[in-house]
Structure 1
Amino acid sequence: MNTDTILGIDVGGTGIKGAVVNTRTGELLTERVKVMTPKPATPKAVSKALRKLVDQIGWKGDYIGCGFPAIIKKQVAHSAANVHKNWIGTNVAEVFGKVVPADFFVLNDADAAGLAEMRMGAGKKCNGVALMITIGTGIGSALFSEKVLVPNSEVGHVLF
């Protein structure tokens, strides 16, 4: 089982991006490819767009890491601010695995970005509390305490 090279995918409210990544160095091994997120962003429509992205990249490997714009627990979506509400209660990895024969690991999109930053970027030397904010179609966040992710912080959805 070689997990040194995976396909990394970011499903966003506007676009779905992907590239092959070296998981040891964080280096992109292919150009980043983008397809538009379909409207409405139902499970079937997003799966079709994801298949198109994977085909454009030419990925034939076993593993895909996927950031998804929702609260994710055990690969199941528990919110859907920037995708169709039909995602709520859906196992995202299972849905995507039906259209792309690979093992998917799905987590909140901002959490994925935060983990990468803590492992490869500015967060490497950060101790204590760290907060990463993502700005795209929506506002996301990744919260860390002593380098440990506090998953699904979603500060963009906090009611004031």
Structure 2
Amino acid sequence: MKFTYILFLLFSLNIYAQNTIKLKEGQNSPKASLADVSWIAGHWKGEAFGGITEEIWSPPLGNSMMFVFKLVSEGKVQFYEIGHIKEQEESLILQLKHFTENLKGWETKEQTIDFKLVKLEENKVYFEDFTIEKLNANEINLYVLIAHEDGTKKEEKFNYKKL
């Protein structure tokens, strides 16, 4: 019985963050271009955190793909994000900033939240703690490892349908 519990616990920990990964110590981001992730472009809508989520991604232009995100619950915007995936040093980086419903920034003026590219697959792009997966032409999943106020981290899944 004890052995079964330990196996269950190990399995549970393994699936806890199964879609997000990090670069290994000393590992560099692989070579990549925006053409490798251009399938992300579009207007996407889903549900998370008890509300409606929306993301709009531009096609590649000027070595970047910009995006905006918003969470709406109880009929009100809870927060926004603005960011981009950009080509940097023959690879890609995803950067973003958070804003309140009144567009007051969460991060300092000079600060961004950065996610370095870890790995590319045909229908999946892995940034550190942030993964985007193409299920088909009209549906994607985003997986984000989010730090909570109590110090724990949990992988959150966002499922989006194309509008």
> Is the TM value for this pair above 0.5?
no
State TM-score, norm by structure 2. Answer: 0.29
Greater percentage in strand: 2
State TM-score, norm by structure 1. Answer: 0.29
Pick the structure with greater CA Rg: 2
Greater percentage in helix: 1
